[in-house]
Amino acid sequence: MGHGVLSETVDAISELHLHGVPLVVTSPTPNDVAGKRVVAQFEEEGIAVETVVIKEASFASVQRVIEVAREVDAGYLVGVGGGKAIDIAKMASDEIKRGFVSIPTAASHDGIVSGRGSVPEKNTRHSVAAEPPLAVVADTEILADAPWRLTTAGCADIISNYTAVKDWRLANRLQNVEYSGYSAALAEMTAEMLVDNAESIKPGLEESAWVVTKALVSSGVAMSIAGSSRPASGAEHLFSHQLDRIAPGAALHGHQVGVGSIITEYLHGGNWQGIRDALATIGAPTTADGLEIDGKTVVEALTTAHEIRDRYTILGNGMNEAAAIEAATTTNVI
Ligand SMILES: [Zn+2]
C-alpha cells in the first residue's frame, strides 16, 4: 500500500510464486485507470497476460470470467476495480481453484480484501464464500482520485463494525454462534482507528485514502480470522441487503449500512449519537433523505430484514412496524 505502488504490481506478484498466465479481470473505467498499466507491466517483463473486461455485476459475468480463465488456462486472476470486478474475480477464482490478487481502484467497501463475494441476482443480492486475496496492491494515488462518495461509503462500512460485533456477541450468548475475541477486537479497533481520524478524512487528500484503505484491509483480515463476515456484518447489513431488494441501486452499500448502524446501535441501547456524528463528520449520509430513500421503505426494510438470511442479530424475530417507526424517528433517520 502506498503512493504509486501500482508500478510494483508484477514485483509483488512474483513474490507469491504463482505460475501460469495471469488473467486481469476488470471493468471499463478501472481498466483505463489501472488495468491497462498492469497489463503493460506484465508485457514489459515478457509475461503473457490476458484481460477480460466485464460490464455488470452478475452471475453471468462470473460465468464468463470462468470460461475465459479455462480457455486461456489462467494460472491466477488479478481483479482490478472498485468492487464489482474484484468480487467477480474472487468468485471465479474460488470456482476454478486458482489464486487471486486484488487491486482496488476505490476504497468503497471491505469486499476488496474479504473472503466473501456478492453479486446481485434478480431482486436480491447473493453473498457467497470465496477465497480471500493472496495479495492486495493498493495505490493511494489512484484511490485518492476515486469519487469521494465511494470513499465515504468505505468509511461507513468500517464504522458499521461496531454494531456488527455487538450482534456477533449477542448471537454467541443467545445462540452459541462461534465467536473469536481476537477477530472481534481487531474489527472494533479498526472502526475506532477510523473514527479517531474522522476529522482528517477529507476529499482529495491521499492520506485519507491511506487511512480508509488500511482500515478496509484490517477489516478483511478480521473476517479471514473469523472465517465468516460476522465481525463486519450484522443487522445493519441485513437492513442494507433488504434495501437493495426493495429499492435497488438507490444508494451505495456503505452508506446504507452506515444509516443501518445508527438504528441498530439504538436498538442495542448504545451510543447511536456517536455513530451518527462520526458518519456526519466524514460526510456520509445519516438519514433516509441522505440515502434518497423514503421513510416508508426504511420501515419496510427494518421490519423484514431478519428474514433475509439465517443470521441472529438484535433484530431477533423481527421488529413490528410501530417499533421500527419509533427507532427510525428517535434516531432522526426518518
Ligand atoms: Zn459491508
Pairing of strands 74-81, 99-104: parallel
The answer, yes or no, to whether residue 127 has pLDDT greater than 80, is no
164-173, 191-200, 212-221, range with greatest mean pLDDT: 164-173
Q: How far apart are CA 88 and CA 267, in angstroms?
A: 35
pTM for the full predicted model? 0.91
Q: Is 237 annotated as a binding residue?
A: yes
The answer, yes or no, to whether residue 199 has pLDDT greater than 60, is yes
pLDDT, tens digit (0-9, with 9 covering 90-100), for 134-156: 999 999 999 999 999 999 999 99
**Dihedral (CA of 223, 81, 148, 240) sign:** negative
For residue 14, how far is its CA from the centre of ligand 1 (angstroms)? 31
For residue 71, how far is its CA from the centre of ligand 1 (angstroms)? 33
For residue 178, how far is its CA from the centre of ligand 1 (angstroms)? 20
Cβ atoms within 10 A of the Cβ of 106, count?
A: 26
pLDDT of residue 112: 83
Q: Is 87 annotated as a binding residue?
A: yes
The answer, yes or no, to whether residue 164 has pLDDT greater than 90, is yes
Q: Is 305 annotated as a binding residue?
A: no
What would the mean pLDDT of 274-283 be, rounded to a whole number?
Answer: 95
For residue 90, how far is its CA from the centre of ligand 1 (angstroms)? 16
pLDDT of residue 200: 85
Look-up: residue for cell 456524528? 277
pLDDT of residue 300: 98
CA angle, residues 122, 128, 133, in degrees to nearest 5: 125
What would the mean pLDDT of 153-171 be, rounded to a whole number?
Answer: 97
The answer, yes or no, to whether residue 264 has pLDDT greater than 60, is yes
For residue 218, how far is its CA from the centre of ligand 1 (angstroms)? 13
For residue 16, how far is its CA from the centre of ligand 1 (angstroms)? 28
145-149, 249-253, 266-270, range with greatest mean pLDDT: 266-270
Q: Is 110 annotated as a binding residue?
A: yes
Instruction: Place 83 in a pLDDT band, splitting at 50, 70 and 90.
Output: confident
For residue 232, how far is its CA from the centre of ligand 1 (angstroms)? 7
For residue 125, how far is its CA from the centre of ligand 1 (angstroms)? 12
What would the mean pLDDT of 263-291 be, rounded to a whole number?
Answer: 97
Q: Ligand 1 (ion): which residues have CB within 5 A?
A: 157
pLDDT of residue 132: 84
Alpha helices, DSSP H, located in the chain:
9-14, 28-30, 36-44, 59-71, 84-96, 140-143, 148-159, 161-175, 181-196, 206-226, 235-246, 253-267, 272-282, 288-291, 295-304, 321-330
For residue 254, how far is its CA from the centre of ligand 1 (angstroms)? 6
What would the mean pLDDT of 47-57 be, rounded to a whole number?
Answer: 94
Q: Is 75 annotated as a binding residue?
A: no
For residue 4, how far is its CA from the centre of ligand 1 (angstroms)? 27
Rg over CA atoms, the chain: 19
pLDDT, tens digit (0-9, with 9 covering 90-100), for 177-186: 999 999 999 9
pLDDT of residue 126: 64
SS3 for 119-181 is EEECCEEEEEECCCCCEECCEHHHHCCCCHHHHHHHHHHHHCHHHHHHHHHHHHHHHCCCCCH
User: Above pLDDT 70, what percent of the chain?
Assistant: 98
Instruction: Place 303 in a pLDDT band, splitting at 50, 70 and 90.
Output: very high
Q: How far apart are CA 36 and CA 49, in angstroms?
A: 11
Q: Is 73 annotated as a binding residue?
A: no
For residue 15, how far is its CA from the centre of ligand 1 (angstroms)? 30
For residue 234, how far is its CA from the centre of ligand 1 (angstroms)? 9
- What average pLDDT does the chain have? 93
pLDDT of residue 269: 98
Q: How far apart are CA 215 and CA 204, in angstroms?
A: 18
Q: Is 108 annotated as a binding residue?
A: yes
pLDDT of residue 121: 65
Instruction: Place 123 in a pLDDT band, splitting at 50, 70 and 90.
Output: low
What would the mean pLDDT of 26-32 be, rounded to a whole number?
Answer: 96
